[in-house]
Amino acid sequence: MALETDKQRGFATEFQELWASLPSKAVFGVLFAAWFALFHFLGNSTFGYFKTPSIFRWLYGVYETAPDDSLGGLIPFAVLALFWWKREALVAAPKRIWWPALAIFVLALAFHLVGYTVQQTRVSILAFFVGLYALMGLVWGPAWLRATFFPFILFAFMMPMTAYAENLTTSLRQLSTVMTVAISDDILGIKVIGSGTQISDRFNRFHYEVAAACSGIRSLTSMTALATVVAFMGFQKPWKRVLVIGAAIPLSVIGNVVRLLTIIIAAEWRGQTAGNFVHEHWFFSLFPYVPAILALMLMTRVLGDDVITEVKA
Q: Could you tell me which of 166, 97, 161 has the C-alpha nearest to residue 135?
A: 97
3-state SS, residue 290: helix
**pLDDT at residue 9, as a whole number:** 55
3-state SS, residue 44: coil
pTM of the predicted model as reported, rounded to 2 decimal places? 0.82
Judge whether 207 and 273 are in contact, CB under 8 Å: no
Within 184-247, where are the H helices? Answer: 217-234, 238-246
CA–CA dist 103, 14 (Å, integer): 33
The dihedral sign for the CA sequence 171, 176, 181, 183? positive
**pLDDT at residue 212, as a whole number:** 58
The CA dihedral of 75, 82, 222, 129, to the nearest 10 degrees, is: 40
CA–CA dist 221, 213 (Å, integer): 12
Domain boundaries, the chain: 2-163, 166-306
Got the DSSP string for 94-149? -----TTHHHHHHHHHHHHHHHHHTT-HHHHHHHHHHHHHHHHHHHH-HHHHHHHH
Judge whether 199 and 210 are in contact, CB under 8 Å: yes
- Which residue ranges of the chain lie beneath pLDDT 50? 1-6, 307-313
Within the chain, where are the H helices? Answer: 2-20, 25-41, 55-65, 75-85, 87-92, 101-117, 121-140, 142-153, 166-183, 217-234, 238-246, 248-270, 272-280, 282-286, 289-302
18-43: pLDDT as tens digits: 999 999 999 999 999 999 999 999 99
**pLDDT at residue 306, as a whole number:** 59
